[in-house]
């Protein structure tokens, strides 16, 4: 299969074409649409028209549908009978549920990751943290959601906890839009860098109890701030 998207006159496609592409076409499109959802370019409830997306990227509807089905599995897109695909709407109830589930699961899985991690796992997690912090510092929030997900997943040590990582990945994917809204609050970006760095230092040192405690605080503060924000927004 040709792993390059066909050229299109769009400026977006021109930017894609200059990069060596390592994924399948559907995976590349899923990545791009995911970024647009996380950045708010595609708002909650927006219709994702397969014909329009296919025309933009110069591909058939088949990889577009595959990409949207993948994003549906991640909880970012809804499939509605007779209406096709649309961006899943954000809500206070969903924010509370998904962050509550993360509180139940993520601290212990990452604590176990700290116990299991080897040198190569620590290198990978540190690289993920550096990439995330650079984006946050430069306010390049269009990619911060996906990089935040990558950092949190690295702490689970996916090669040794694949099922646990899959569960955490789904929860993180759903919560990323809420996290990005939260990151837009003045001062929150700096707090995020400080909290993620403290979590990583404890994780790198294998301090499992501290990892669980710090991640729990990190998620609780995010949840509490978001609840207030979403209540105020109606």
- Asked if residue 130 belongs to a domain, the reply is yes
Q: Identify the domain containing residue 61 by its residue range.
A: 11-87
Write the CB contacts of 80 (distance below 8 Å, at least 6 apart in sequence).
86
Greatest CA separation found in the chain? 53
Question: How, if at all, do strands 47-48 and 77-80 pair?
Answer: unpaired
**Top mean-pLDDT range of 9-23, 65-79, 96-110, 179-193:** 96-110
Q: Are 48 and 42 in contact (CB under 8 A)?
A: yes
Which of 87, 102, 130 is the last residue in one of the domains?
A: 87
Q: What is the structure's pLDDT at 5?
A: 42
56 and 103 co-located in one domain: no
> Is the model's pLDDT at 7 over the cut of 60?
no
Global confidence as pTM: 0.77
pLDDT band at 189 (very low <50, low <70, confident <90, very high): confident
pLDDT mean over 194-205: 97
- Asked if residue 141 belongs to a domain, the reply is yes
- Asked if residue 158 belongs to a domain, the reply is yes
CATH number for the domain that contains residue 99 = 1.20.120.530
108 and 129 co-located in one domain: yes
Q: Are 168 and 107 in contact (CB under 8 A)?
A: no
Which DSSP helix (H) or strand (E) runs through 47?
strand 47-48
Comparing 84 with 212, the larger pLDDT belongs to 212
- Asked if residue 5 belongs to a domain, the reply is no
Report which DSSP code applies to 20: P
Q: What is the structure's pLDDT at 142?
A: 65
> Based on the structure, what is the number of domains in the chain?
2
147 and 43 co-located in one domain: no
């Amino acid at each position: 299969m040709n792993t390059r998207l066909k050229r299109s006159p769009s400026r977006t496609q021109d930017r894609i074409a200059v990069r060596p592409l390592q994924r399948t076409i559907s995976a590349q499109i899923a990545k791009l649409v995911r970024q647009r959802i996380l950045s708010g370019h595609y708002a909650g409830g927006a219709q994702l028209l397969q014909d329009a997306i296919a025309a933009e990227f110069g591909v058939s509807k088949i990889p577009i549908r595959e990409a949207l089905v993948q994003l549906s599995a991640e909880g970012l897109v809804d499939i509605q009978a007779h209406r096709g695909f649309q961006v899943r709407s954000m809500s206070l109830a969903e924010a509370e549920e998904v962050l509550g589930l993360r509180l139940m699961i993520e601290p212990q899985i990452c604590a176990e990751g700290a116990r299991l991690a080897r040198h190569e796992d620590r290198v990978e997690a540190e690289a993920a943290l550096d990439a995330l912090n650079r984006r946050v510092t430069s306010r390049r929030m269009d990619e911060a959601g996906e990089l935040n997900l990558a950092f949190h997943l690295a702490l689970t040590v996916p090669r040794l906890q694949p099922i646990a990582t899959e569960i955490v990945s789904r929860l993180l994917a759903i919560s990323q839009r809420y996290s990005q809204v939260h990151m837009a609050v003045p001062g929150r970006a700096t707090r995020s860098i400080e909290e993620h760095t403290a979590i990583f230092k404890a994780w790198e040192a294998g301090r499992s109890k501290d990892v669980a405690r710090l991640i729990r605080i990190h998620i609780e503060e995010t949840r509490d701030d978001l609840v207030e924000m979403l209540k105020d927004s109606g």
